[in-house]
């Protein structure tokens, strides 16, 4: 695998999230990108695998959710020197055994377990770290605000062949493909954290692409996004300096009046990219008896009558809204 070494981006708290089914090359690409950019690599699936491994090592019933949860509460999963440790023991080389493969999808469907793992993942990402995170639902649930999102995919036959060639197995190629298809079905139908493509994720079908080709596509998209962030920050800094210069030459009443005018102009500029009737995704920020208030981006909130919802959403939920008019 020959990959170009890009410049190290000057960013802080930048999250790159990679989603997709098993066996599409998420880990390979994510590790390569993290290494190239000097980011921290975070594999969410390995956290579930470490817990499943502990359940099996302790002789507990992997089909009993209460025993799986009890094990999770007693297991501290950490990344030390780039390798997964469970309660201080290096378990990196044991995470992809056939026995772990057999149960990990069922375990990751346990909603309380997902809550435990997601909290551990977010703690690792806190503190301004630049990270490349990969795993199912990483773009939709764990890091929905990630600056860069990707969904890697490949047909089951190709994924089975890759796994078959990567590690020894007692299963035939056909059995391996059937296992992958069954796992996909489980992941797609999870009530929480199911296999979904985030609306703002870049979809890449890697079935007939080389690793180098996928890497280059991902890297190119990342630097486009980083440059966009840099331009946005420069514009914000420029606006702050312009405001300071104006304020230094005006009286206090003038400052208040002109500040309101400038804020209104900036707000209207932020709405230039949307049109009346456009469908956008927003986040619920407040709910009362009459209205649901939704942050639709663009430095703006929308107000929707509560009666329009069959089930009132909770704060933090994402909802689809139509822009009726811009005010």
pLDDT tens sequence across 44-94: 889 999 999 999 999 999 999 999 999 999 999 988 877 899 999 999 999
Q: Which of 79-83, 102-106, 109-113, 213-217 has the lowest mean pLDDT?
A: 79-83
Q: Which CATH number fits domain 15-224: 3.40.50.300, 3.40.50.620, 3.30.1370.160, 2.30.110.20?
A: 3.40.50.300
- Max mean pLDDT range (104-113, 183-192, 238-247): 104-113
Q: What is the DSSP string of 54-120?
A: HHHHTT--TT-HHHHHHHHHT--EEEETTEEEETTEE-GGGTT-HHHHHHHHHHHT-HHHHHHHHHH
pLDDT of residue 43 exceeding 90? no
Per-residue confidence band for 4, with pLDDT thresholds at 50, 70 and 90: low
Could you tell me the two tokens for 17? Answer: 């999230």
**266 pLDDT tier (thresholds 50, 70, 90):** very low
Check pLDDT > 60 for residue 236.
no
Least confident interval from 117-131, 174-188, 199-213: 117-131
The whole-number pLDDT of residue 204 equals 95
Instruction: Please enumerate in sequence order all residues whose Cβ is within 8 A of that of 310, keeping only pairs 6 or more positions apart, or say none.
Output: none
Please tell me the class of the 279-322 domain: mainly beta
Q: Are 3 and 212 in contact (CB under 8 A)?
A: yes
Confidence band for 258, pLDDT divided at 50, 70 and 90: low
- Residue 18 is inside which H or E element, if any? strand 15-19
Mean pLDDT in residue range 19-25: 88
Kindly report the three-state secondary structure assignment for every residue of 119-154.
HHHHHHHCCCCCEEEECCCHHHHHCCCCCEEEEEEC
267 pLDDT higher than 50: no
What percent of the chain is predicted at pLDDT more than 70?
79
Domain spans, the chain: 15-224, 279-322
């Amino acid at each position: 695998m020959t990959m170009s070494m890009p410049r190290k981006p000057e960013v802080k708290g930048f999250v790159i999230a990679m989603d997709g089914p098993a066996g599409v090359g998420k880990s390979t690409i994510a590790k390569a990108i993290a290494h190239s950019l000097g980011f921290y690599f975070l594999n969410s699936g390995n956290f579930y695998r470490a817990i499943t491994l502990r359940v099996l090592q302790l002789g507990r019933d992997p089909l009993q959710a209460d025993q799986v949860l009890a094990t999770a509460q007693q297991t501290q999963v950490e990344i030390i020197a780039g390798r997964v440790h469970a309660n201080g023991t290096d378990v990196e080389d044991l995470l992809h055994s056939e026995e772990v493969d057999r149960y990990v999808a069922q375990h990751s469907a346990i909603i309380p377990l997902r809550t435990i793992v997601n909290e551990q993942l977010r703690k690792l990402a806190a503190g301004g770290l630049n990270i490349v995170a990969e795993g199912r639902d990483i773009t939709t649930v764990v890091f929905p605000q990630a600056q860069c999102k990707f969904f890697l995919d490949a047909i089951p036959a190709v994924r089975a062949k890759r796994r078959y060639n990567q590690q020894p197995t007692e299963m035939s190629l056909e059995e391996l493909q059937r296992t992958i298809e069954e796992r996909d079905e489980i992941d797609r139908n999870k009530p929480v954290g199911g296999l979904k493509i985030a609306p703002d994720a870049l979809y890449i079908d890697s079935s007939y692409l080389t690793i180098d080709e996928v890497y280059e596509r991902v890297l190119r998209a990342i630097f486009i996004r980083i440059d966009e962030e840099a331009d946005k920050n420069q514009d914000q800094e420029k606006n702050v300096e312009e405001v300071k210069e104006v304020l230094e030459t005006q009286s206090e009443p003038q400052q208040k009046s002109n500040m309101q005018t400038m804020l209104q102009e900036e707000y209207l500029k932020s709405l230039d990219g949307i049109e009346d009737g456009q469908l956008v995704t927003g986040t619920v920020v407040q709910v009362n008896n009459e209205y649901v208030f939704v942050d639709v981006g663009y430095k703006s909130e929308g107000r929707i009558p509560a009666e329009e919802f069959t089930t009132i959403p909770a704060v933090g939920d994402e909802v689809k809204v139509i822009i009726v008019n811009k005010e």
